[in-house]
Amino acid sequence: MEKAIPRRQKKKKGYFKTMYALTKGHRFMFYFGFFLQFFAVSFILLSTLLNKVLVDTLTNSPPTGPIDRFLTNVLGGQEFLRANLWVFAIIILGFGVGRSLINVARNIMRGALESSIMREMQLKLFYHLERLPYPEIKKMKNGDIIQTATRDEEILRAFIIRQLNMMTYTIEMVIFSFLILSTISLKIALSTIIILPIMAIYSFFTIRKVRKLYRITDDSEGLMTAKIEENLNAVRVVKAFNNETYEIDDFEKYLTDYEGKFLKWRKFAAFYYASSDIFIFGQIALSLIFGVYLGLTGEISPGTLVVAVSYTGMIVWPVRQFAQILSNLARAVVSVDRIRLILGIPIEDIDSGETPEIHGHIVFKDAKFHYEDDDEAVIHDFNLDISPGETIAIMGKTGSGKSTLAHILSRLYEYTEGSITIDGVELKNIQKKHLRSHIATVLQEPFLFSRTILNNLKIANKKATENEIIRATSIADIHQTIVGFEKGYDTPVGEKGVTLSGGQKQRLAIARTIINEVPILIFDDSLSAVDTETDINIRSALKKRAQNTTTLIITHRVSTAKDANRIIVLEDGRISQIGNHDELINQDGLYRRIYDIQTRII
C-alpha cells in the first residue's frame, strides 16, 4: 500500500505534465483567455445583481447585502433610480455589449490557440515516432498509431482548449454566485448548494465506470482502424486469393464488437448525464420553495427572491454541464494514456558516439543476437573477417538470420554478445547517424513515397546533380525505362509505387541507394524482383563504379552469388559453409543442394 500511493501521485503528475507541455509557446494566450473569462463571468453576475436592485427599487425594499448596497449607492440611490429607470436599461445594455465583445475576443483567441496547439501536438507526435528505435516501431500496430495521432490528439486538444475553459467557468460561477448570495442571505445561499455534495459523490463513482467503458471502446476502435489499414496494404493479396467476402465478414466482426462497446459506453454516459437532472431540478425546486417561504415570512425581499432563483440557475446548470466535462475528462485521460505510451518511449540516440573514417573493413568475433522477447539466439557465434572492397554473398534458408545481419550492421538492432568492428572501431561505439551515412542498404521490400520518380531518388541525396542521378539509374538499369515514360523523371509513382512493376520499384530503390558513394553497400535480397539479365547488368555496373566498396549481397539465387569473392552459407544463425562458388559446389552441403535445384529448374 505504501508503494501504490507514490505511483498514483506520479501518474497524476504525468497527466498534468503532459497537458501542460502541450501549451508550451502559447501560455500567455492560454492564460489570457482565463483572464477574459473572469470578466465575462463578472458581467453576468453584476447584471443579474442589478435585477435585484431594480426589483428592490420598484418595491421600495432596502438593500440587504453590502454588494447591492454599494451598487445602489454608486448608481445614485433608490430615490434617484426610481426617477430615472432608464439608467438600468443603459447599464444592462452596457454589460451585454461588454460581455459580447469579450466573448468575440475569447473565441478568436481560442481558435488561434487550438490551431497552434494542433500543429505543435501533431508535429511532436510525428517527430517522436520518426525518432523511435526500430524495434519499438515494429512492436506497434499501425492502426493504434494512427488512432493516437488523430482521434486521441483531437480529444485531448478539445479538452485543453474548450473543456478546461468550461471547467473554470463553472467553478467561478458557482463560487462567486454563492459568495454574492451569502452576503444577501446566508440561508438562501446554503439552500442553493445543499444537494450538490450528493451529486458530487454520485458523479465521482459513476464517472469511473464511464472512463473504463470509454477506454474499452477506444481500444476496440483502434483494432478496427488497424484492420482497415492492414487490408489496404494487402489489397493485392486479398484479390489474388478471391478473399474479399472473407475479409468483409471478418471486418464485420470488428465492427460489431466496436458497435456493442460503443453503445454500452454511450448508454451508460447518457444515463449518467440524464440522471444528473434529478439533482439539478431537485435543487432548483428546493431553492425556490425555500425562497418563497422566506419571502412570505418577510425574511427576504422580493428582489432577494428574484436574484436567489437566478443565481440558483447559474450554480446548478453549470454543475450539470460539469457532469459532461467529467465525462470528457475521462476520455481525455484515456487519450493522454495512449499519447504517453508513445511519448514515454525514449527516442533513438543517433548523435552520440565516435565518428571514425570508414573504409569497409568489417570483423565479426563470436557475435550473437537474440530478440528482446525471445531468449533463443538468431545469430550464433558468428565469426567473419571482411576486407575493404570485398564482395560477400550470404545465402541460407528463410529464417536463417541473413536479413538480421543487415539490421545489425546498420544498428537497427544491437548485437547482444561478442564483438563487431568496422575499421577497428567497435560497432556499438560508432555514432548511428555517422554509421548509417556510410552504409547503404537496398531493402528486400522497396518502399516508394507518393511522389515523382525524381523526388523519390533525391530522398537519399537532396543535392544530387542530374549527372549523378542519371549515373545511378543507369547502374540500376532503370534510366531507359524512366525516359520512356511520358513525363520522364517527373512521373508520379503513386502511393507505395503502385504505378510501377515490382522490378521497376526494385531498380528505382537500388538507384536511390547508390546515388551516394558509400564504403559499405548491402543488398538485402533486393535483386530477387529483377530478372537474371538485369541482375547481371546491375552487378557488372556496380563493379565498374567502385572497386573499394565493401558489398554484402543477401540472396537466394546462386546466379547472383557466384561472382562474389566469398559466399557465406547460414544455417540456423551459424556459418555452415564459406568459400567461393567453385569450392562450394564441390562440397556436400546446402549450397550445392540449392545449386542443383536451381540448375535443374533452368
* Joined grid coordinates for residue 393: 554473398
Residues 326 and 384 in one domain: no
Does residue 7 register a pLDDT over 60?
no
Q: Do both 320 and 372 map to the same domain?
A: no
pLDDT in tens, 216-226: 887 888 788 77
Looking at the structure, do residues 140 and 281 belong to the same domain, yes or no? yes
394-406 pLDDT, tens digit per residue, is 998 887 888 888 8
Residue with cell 417561504: 293
Residues 437 and 317 in one domain: no
The domain boundary, picked from 280, 309, 343, lies at: 343
**Model pTM?**
0.70
> Which of 204-218, 488-502, 548-562 has the weakest average pLDDT?
488-502
In a domain, 268, yes or no: yes
Residue 8: pLDDT above 60? no
pLDDT tens column, 70-112: 888 888 888 888 888 888 889 888 888 888 898 888 888 888 8
> Residue 544: is its pLDDT beyond 70?
no
Same domain, 214 and 276: yes
Comparison of pLDDT for 402 and 375, the residue scoring more:
402
296 and 417 share one domain: no
Is 348 inside a domain boundary? no
Q: Which domain holds residue 388?
A: 362-601
Residue 126 has pLDDT above 50, yes or no: yes
Query: What pLDDT sits at residue 358?
Result: 93
CA atoms within 13 A on the CB side of 170: 17
3-state class (DSSP) for residue 583: helix
Q: What is the pLDDT of residue 432?
A: 92
In this prediction, residue 421 has a pLDDT band, given cuts at 50, 70 and 90, of: very high
CATH number for 162? 1.20.1560.10
Answer yes or no: do 131 and 274 share one domain: yes
Q: How confident is the model at residue 5 (pLDDT cuts 50, 70, 90)?
A: very low
**Residue 420 clears pLDDT 90, i.e. is over it:** yes
Instruction: Report pLDDT for 425.
Output: 94
Q: What pLDDT sits at residue 3?
A: 36
Of the residues 343, 373, 390, which one is the last residue of a structural domain? 343
Mean pLDDT across the stretch 10-14? Answer: 48
Q: Which residues contact 514 (CB under 8 A, 6 or more apart)?
A: 440, 472, 475, 476, 521, 542, 545
Asked if residue 353 belongs to a domain, the reply is: no
Read off the CATH number of the domain in which 474 is found.
3.40.50.300
Q: Which pLDDT belongs to residue 501?
A: 75
In a domain, 350, yes or no: no
* pLDDT tens digits, one per residue of 279-323: 878 888 888 888 888 888 888 888 888 888 888 888 877 776 776
Mean pLDDT for 578-586 is 91
Mean pLDDT throughout 459-486?
85
pLDDT in the model for residue 1: 33
Q: Which long-range contacts (CB under 8 A, 24 or more apart) does 527-535 make?
A: 527/553, 527/555, 527/557, 527/560, 528/444, 528/555, 528/556, 528/557, 529/446, 529/502, 529/503, 529/505, 530/477, 530/503, 530/506, 531/503, 532/557, 532/559, 534/477, 534/503, 534/507, 535/559, 535/560
- Number of independent structural domains in the chain: 2
Average per-residue pLDDT for the chain: 82
User: Residue 208 and residue 217: Cα distance in Å, rounded?
Assistant: 14
Q: How confident is the model at residue 12 (pLDDT cuts 50, 70, 90)?
A: very low
Q: Are residues 240 and 208 in the same domain?
A: yes
3-state secondary structure of 58: helix
Domain boundary among 309, 343, 377: 343
Give the 3-state secondary structure of 165-191.
HHHHHHHHHHHHHHHHHHHHCHHHHHH
Same domain? 458 vs 556: yes
User: In this structure, are 327 and 383 located in the same domain?
Assistant: no
Decide if 2 is inside a domain: no
What is the structure's pLDDT at 10?
43
Q: Is the pLDDT at 545 greater than 70, yes or no?
A: no
Please tell me what DSSP assigns to residue 396. E
Cell matching residue 221: 476502435
Task: Based on the fold, state whether residues 446 and 382 are members of the same structural domain.
Answer: yes
For residue 2, pLDDT beyond 50: no
Cα–Cα distance, 174 to 163 (Å, whole number): 16
Are 381 and 328 in the same domain?
no
Residue 352 pLDDT grade (very low, low, confident, very high; cuts 50, 70, 90): very high
What sections of 344-465 are H helices per DSSP? 402-409, 432-438, 453-457
Say if 4 falls within a structural domain. no
Among 498, 491, 447, 454, residue whose Cα is nearest residue 473: 454
Q: Looking at residue 11, what is its pLDDT?
A: 46
Instruction: Report if residue 352 sits inside a domain.
Output: no
Backbone dihedral angles phi then psi of residue 446, each to the nearest 5 degrees: -65, 140
Domain-located, residue 23: yes
Question: For the ranges 97-106, 155-164, 360-369, which has the lowest average pLDDT?
Answer: 155-164
